Amino acid sequence: MIFYIFYKYMHCFFDTGEVNRKKEILVYLLMLLWSAFVASFSEPDLSHATTALILFVLTGLYPDRLKKKLLVTVVIFGTYVLSKALVVRLLSFFRFDSDIAFIIEQLSVLALMYIFELFAEIWIEHLRNLRVKMAENENTKRQLAGYSNQLDVLKNSEEKVRGLRHDLKHHLNELMLMAEHDQSSDIKDYIKSMDSFMTYSGEYVSSGNKDIDSLLNLMLDDAKRELGEVSCKVCIPSELDIELFDLNVILGNLLDNAIRAAKQTHEKYLHVRISYKMGMLLIHVENSYTGDLIKEGGRYRSTKEDSAAHGMGITNVQCIVKKYDGDMVITEENNRFLVKIVLYVKTA
């Protein structure tokens, strides 16, 4: 019974998505055997030490930092000891037969532990909600900026085309004249200048997927201003069954981080590739970086000043990736930072 409560605690504090169920159950059973074995012939002090040790072994099942594992062990063990002390204290006011007293004590400890666990769960849920709200806020801001930028992009390119149409007769005359004189290289130059006049420089992506276009155009406009080399290739269907919010979290955070990192480098490059194959949305963001990222317990920490907010960005991305049964791979070598994400997305 107590092990079930330990299990609840662990699931409350750790990210358990990556854990092999069979292995988990096996380890719990082993620990159960061990504790039964120790309890069968020992004094209470030793059994406390065993409990603490068992708890620590159990935290080993879950992928996280050692510091957190130790902390969780201490917290669970602490509540265990506290519950026990509390119960013993309370029971000392009543007089029971030693057998009944023992059972009541055990049951009350369990009940108390369970209540503490519920509180912890509620508290953690509350923190999570708070974080989601913050992310939502950030997203709404970005989305709004994206839309207004996209409107500008559309207006500008529309104006350019209108301008060209206005002078079309004149251009055609000019081209005809050149053609009559067989000036093919002049014609080429003329057409090139017409083309560059027509395309608005703020439009980097036009995949037909409005959400992705507006987001990328906004972010790449920033990137173009700050960086030397920016390239972007997007080959996706115009309709995808993915929530705008989720896309925003992923692309917004990845590009934010990539641009910030590349800005500090000498090469200053950013390559973005998004494609859709066999039901998978593949996102590939590559940038130059100076190589002084801090890695902590397998996770990237930020070199940015408000590093709490930054770490949150990547955590949020991970949440979304998980929602789509996806995967994120981060590699870094030779001052090249590469994030690859795959999401399973149906077509709308």
Site stretch for other proteins (CB under 8 A), options 47-55, 149-157, 220-228, 230-238: 230-238
Site stretch for other proteins (CB under 8 A), options 25-33, 106-114, 124-132, 237-245: 237-245
The C-alpha R_g of the chain, in whole angstroms, comes to 30
Of residues 287-346, which lie at the interface with other proteins (CB under 8 A)?
325-327, 329, 340, 342, 344
User: Which residue in this structure is represented by tokens 């080993």?
Assistant: 60
State the helix-helix crossing angle for 98-166 and 168-180, rounded to 10 degrees: 60
Of residues 147-206, which lie at the interface with other proteins (CB under 8 A)?
205-206
CA atoms within 13 A on the CB side of 150: 18
CB 191 to other proteins: min, Å: 11
Tell which one of 5, 234, 242, 274 touches other proteins (CB under 8 A).
234
Rounded Cα distance, 164 and 152, in Å: 18
Question: Could you tell me which residues are beta bridge partners of residue 286?
Answer: 271, 338
The dihedral region occupied by 187, where left means phi > 0, alpha psi between -120 and 50, and beta the remainder, is alpha
CB 233 to other proteins: min, Å: 9
Q: What are phi and psi of 303, to 5 degrees?
A: -100, 0
Site stretch for other proteins (CB under 8 A), options 71-79, 127-135, 236-244, 308-316: 236-244
CB 9 to other proteins: min, Å: 26
User: Which residue in this structure is represented by tokens 């397998």?
Assistant: 298
User: Which residue in this structure is represented by tokens 């420089």?
Assistant: 201
Q: How far is CA 63 from CA 187, 188, 248, 309, 316, in A?
A: 64, 61, 27, 22, 18
Dig out the tokens for 322 from the structure: 């998980």
235 makes contact with other proteins (CB under 8 A): yes
Total binding residues for other proteins by CB under 8 A?
28
Q: Please, which residue, 83 or 209, has the CB nearer to other proteins?
A: 209
User: Which residue in this structure is represented by tokens 């159960």?
Assistant: 32
Of residues 270-289, which lie at the interface with other proteins (CB under 8 A)?
275-280, 282, 284
CB 242 to other proteins: min, Å: 14
CB 87 to other proteins: min, Å: 41
State the helix-helix crossing angle for 184-198 and 98-166, rounded to 10 degrees: 130
Site stretch for other proteins (CB under 8 A), options 55-63, 125-133, 232-240, 249-257: 232-240
Q: Please, which residue, 167 or 327, has the CB nearer to other proteins?
A: 327
CA atoms within 13 A on the CB side of 233: 7
Q: Please, which residue, 72 or 230, has the CB nearer to other proteins?
A: 230
- Chain residues binding other proteins by CB under 8 A are 205-209, 234-239, 275-280, 282, 284, 325-327, 329, 340, 342, 344, 347-348
